Every structure is written in structure tokens, then in C-alpha cells.
Amino acid sequence: QMELLQNVKKGIADVVTSKKRLQLQQQKLEQQVVKLDTQARQALAANREDLARLALERKQFAQDELQSLDGQVAELEAQQQGLTDREQKLRGKIDQFRTKKEVIKAQYSAAEAQVKISEAATGVGEEMADVGLAMQRALDKTEGMRARAGAMEELEASGAFDDNLTLTAGQDDIDRQLHQLTSQSGVDDDLERLKAELGQGSAKPAGELGAGEAGSERPA
């Protein structure tokens, strides 16, 4: 459209230039008509009708040319007016285009800003989600520690850790199990010893042994 506007402006300038040339020709012809009319009058005054006729013929030719120039000038003025109107319309369209372009640029900038805001908000949301997951993991870990502490307290209350108190510092599971086996072996040895002691000199039936023991408890 800018190129078209420049062409219209050039056309207007060409028309105006041509019109100015024709108007100069008009002025010369008008002066010539006046001069020829004066010469015709002078010739008649001098009884030179032939010269007067010649002057009037040239005057008529000049007037015909002048009339033709008037038509051409009028046509050029119409062309100039048409081009001027077209120029104004083009200017209006160009102004509208520029205004629309600025509006589109503003809308684009606003949309771009909105996209950046949305991206920023999305990033914040993702960060908040990460924080939420971290907090949930911390909460789960805390709950697990609480449950473990509760279980330890329950086991301690049930006496499950009493046997471990006899172990010296630095003993591991193997030491503990060996200690349990040794303790169990000692218990078994004591049991066999008691059985052997009770079995010596006690060939009597268990019922008689019970009766003798009962009689021995009577006072003398």
C-alpha cells in the first residue's frame, strides 16, 4: 500500500505539472487574442481591411486553441481531484492498517506476557508439588519412627530385652545365641543333677515315698 501511495503521489505531481504548462499556454493565447484584436482595429482604421481580416483569422484560431486548452485543463483538474481522493483513501487505509498493526502488537505482547505468567505459575505449582511430596515423605518417616519407638517400648515392657541386659558391651547376635546355648546347657546339667540326687536311695515307689515323707512330718 505504501508503494501504491507513492505512485498516486507521483501521478498527482505529473498531472499538476501538465496543468501548469497548459495554463501558461492559456495565458499566452489570451494575450495573443487581445493583441490580434487590437491589430485588426488598427488595420481597419488604416483602411487595410485585408490586414484586419488576417488579424481576425489568427484571433479566431487562437480562441479555438484557447477553448481546447480550457477543456484539457478541466480534464487534468478532474484527474487531479480523483488522484487526490484516492490518495486520501489510501492514507486512511494505511492509518487503519498501522492502528490495527499496533493493536495486534499490543495483543501479542499481552498474550506473550500471559504465557510467561502461566509458565511461571506452572513452575511455582511444580515447586509446591515437590515441597508437598517432601513434606509427605517427612511425615511418613516421622510416623514410621513413632511406630518403631512404640514397638520398642512394647517389647521392652514385655521383657523381651531382659536377656540382652546380661550381655556385655560389644556382643553381637552370635555371642547372644552362644550365651543362650550355654545357659540352656547349664540348666539341663542342673536338671540332670537334681534327678540323680533324687534317684539315689529312693527305690521306693513314688506313693510310698510320699507316705514316708508325710509320716516324718508328724511330731515325736
The Cα–Cα gap between 220 and 172 comes to 60
123, amino acid identity: G
The Cα–Cα gap between 154 and 161 comes to 10
Assess if residue 139 is contained within a domain: no
**Greater model confidence, 175 or 72:** 72
Total domains, the chain = 1
For residues 137-145, average pLDDT: 78
Residue 201 has pLDDT above 60, yes or no: no
Summarize pLDDT for 40-60 with one digit per residue, the tens: 999 999 999 999 999 999 999
The Cα–Cα gap between 164 and 180 comes to 10
**What is the pLDDT confidence band of residue 30, given thresholds at 50, 70 and 90?**
very high
Query: Contact at 8 Å (CB) between 85 and 27?
Result: no
Assess if residue 169 is contained within a domain: no
Assess if residue 63 is contained within a domain: yes
C-alpha cell at 154: 512394647
Q: What is the pTM of this model?
A: 0.44
Assess if residue 21 is contained within a domain: yes
Assess if residue 211 is contained within a domain: no
Residue 103 has pLDDT above 70, yes or no: yes
Residue 195 has pLDDT above 60, yes or no: yes
Task: Report the chain's mean pLDDT, rounded to a whole number.
Answer: 78
Assess if residue 165 is contained within a domain: no
pLDDT at 179: 66
Q: Which residue segment(s) compose the domain that 12 sits in?
A: 2-124
pLDDT at 71: 92
Assess if residue 143 is contained within a domain: no
For residues 171-186, average pLDDT: 67
Assess if residue 217 is contained within a domain: no
C-alpha cell at 39: 491589430
